[in-house]
């Protein structure tokens, strides 16, 4: 058997004695990394989606993600959501009172439906793109930025400690739940009837909603809308907001650090007992350094551990500092 010509098909000799039609398979197969290999390599077949896969998976995902929003999320059956947003949000907190057509961008209009779809109702429960659980991740960042700007402007003469405390409170689940209730989103949430709306769900829906707002009308308009909403919600009661925001434990920690140059956890020790039936906590005593103080007869009822330490910190502030 003639050996293979090293020039292969590029050989220019008319009377070449070597074999040019090489059909021997390369022993390395598709893993061969030689560009000038003379042997035959198997062809790589491209994967082609069949019609069943496309119809069942790809088209369904396109409808939900908004690649073709007119087919699903812009259907007339969702018009009540757009009417609610226009009446309860835009007309109320946007000074110009512009209409749906001007403020709800048609390209991203589907996000105002998606932000109210709970995973219990979504077409595919395993696909996070069918509900608000992914877009609330972005809304968390965007809403936090607008809240920070509002806090920075309204509390211009306060220390960074106050700013951080107020900002932390206004981004909490408790505060965002108030926004959910104020905007009456319970009327438009899409979920199964047996699913109860928790505070965490309220927080996520508010964050997802403001991502939809941010995407549709941009940062400047969104900031104006959030400012008007927060102004009404706080209603000028900035001192009350500071009192709610600043935790007694934080104040006590700062006082301890000023006096002892050591964090509170190294100075103050709590003797805490848990009730086996109610699973709630009670503080029996506390010690500051070597001094021990009894709390017998002073009962903190219906509190979890964090709430208990907060209340006892307030007691220590009044009685020891």
User: Residue 193 — pLDDT band, cuts 50, 70, 90?
Assistant: confident
If one compares 195 and 46, the residue with the highest pLDDT of the two is 195
Report yes or no: 2 and 18 within 8 Å, Cβ to Cβ. yes
Look at residue 295 and tell me whether its pLDDT is greater than 70: yes
The tens digit of pLDDT for each residue in 240-266 reads 887 777 777 777 888 888 888 888 888
CATH superfamily of the 52-243 domain: Ribonuclease III domain (1.10.1520.10)
Report yes or no: 268 and 316 within 8 Å, Cβ to Cβ. yes
Look at residue 61 and tell me whether its pLDDT is greater than 70: no
Q: Which ranges in the chain are annotated with CATH 1.10.1520.10?
A: 52-243
The tens digit of pLDDT for each residue in 115-166 reads 888 887 765 444 445 678 888 888 999 999 999 999 999 988 888 878 888 8
State whether residue 21 is helix, strand or coil.
coil
Report yes or no: 189 and 167 within 8 Å, Cβ to Cβ. no
Look at residue 98 and tell me whether its pLDDT is greater than 80: no
Question: What pLDDT is attached to residue 299?
Answer: 63
| Helix residue ranges, H only, 262-304 | 264-267
The C-alpha atoms of residue 120 and residue 133 are separated, in whole angstroms, by 11
pTM of the model as a whole: 0.59
- Other beta carbons within 10 Å of 74: 17
Question: What pLDDT is attached to residue 252?
Answer: 81
Burial class (CB in 10 A: 0-12, 13-18, 19+), 60: middle
User: Residue 204 — pLDDT band, cuts 50, 70, 90?
Assistant: very high
Q: Kindly tell me the sign of the dihedral angle through the C-alpha atoms of 173, 84, 139, 165.
A: negative
Question: What pLDDT is attached to residue 129?
Answer: 58
The C-alpha atoms of residue 8 and residue 39 are separated, in whole angstroms, by 10
Question: What pLDDT is attached to residue 77?
Answer: 67
Residues with Cβ < 8 Å from 254, sequence gap 6 or more? Answer: 161
Question: What pLDDT is attached to residue 134?
Answer: 84
State whether residue 315 is helix, strand or coil.
helix
Report yes or no: 283 and 312 within 8 Å, Cβ to Cβ. yes
Residues with Cβ < 8 Å from 102, sequence gap 6 or more? Answer: none
What Rg value do the Cα atoms of the chain yield, rounded?
32
Range from 40-49, 59-68, 285-294 carrying the lowest mean pLDDT: 59-68
């Amino acid at each position: 058997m003639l050996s293979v010509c090293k020039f292969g098909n590029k050989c220019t000799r008319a009377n070449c004695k070597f074999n040019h039609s090489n059909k021997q398979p390369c022993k390395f197969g598709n893993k061969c990394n030689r560009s000038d290999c003379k042997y035959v390599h198997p062809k790589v077949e491209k994967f082609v989606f069949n019609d069943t896969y496309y119809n069942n998976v790809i088209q369904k995902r396109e409808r939900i993600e908004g690649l073709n929003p007119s087919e699903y999320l812009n259907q007339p059956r969702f018009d009540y959501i757009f009417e609610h947003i226009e009446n309860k949000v835009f007309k109320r907190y946007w000074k110009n009172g512009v209409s749906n057509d001007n403020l709800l961008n048609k390209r991203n209009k589907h996000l105002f439906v998606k932000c109210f779809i709970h995973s219990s109702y979504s077409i595919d429960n395993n696909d996070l793109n069918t509900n608000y659980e992914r877009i609330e991740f972005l809304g968390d960042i965007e809403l936090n930025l607008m809240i920070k700007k509002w806090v920075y402007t309204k509390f211009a003469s306060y220390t960074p400690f106050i700013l951080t405390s107020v900002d932390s409170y206004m981004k909490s689940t408790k505060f965002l739940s108030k926004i959910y209730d104020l905007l009456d989103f319970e009327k438009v949430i899409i979920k199964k009837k047996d699913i109860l709306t928790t505070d965490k769900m309220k927080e996520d829906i508010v964050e997802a909603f403001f991502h939809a707002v941010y995407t549709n009308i941009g940062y400047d308009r969104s900031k104006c809308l959030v400012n008007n909403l927060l102004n009404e919600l706080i209603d000028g009661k900035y001192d009350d907001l500071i009192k709610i925001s600043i935790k007694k434990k934080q104040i006590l920690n700062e006082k301890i650090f000023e006096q002892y140059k050591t964090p509170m956890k190294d100075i103050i020790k709590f003797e805490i007992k848990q009730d086996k039936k109610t699973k709630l906590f009670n503080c029996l005593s506390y010690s500051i350094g070597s001094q021990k103080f009894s709390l017998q007869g002073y009962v903190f009822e219906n509190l979890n551990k964090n709430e208990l330490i907060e209340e006892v910190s307030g007691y220590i502030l009044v009685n020891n500092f």
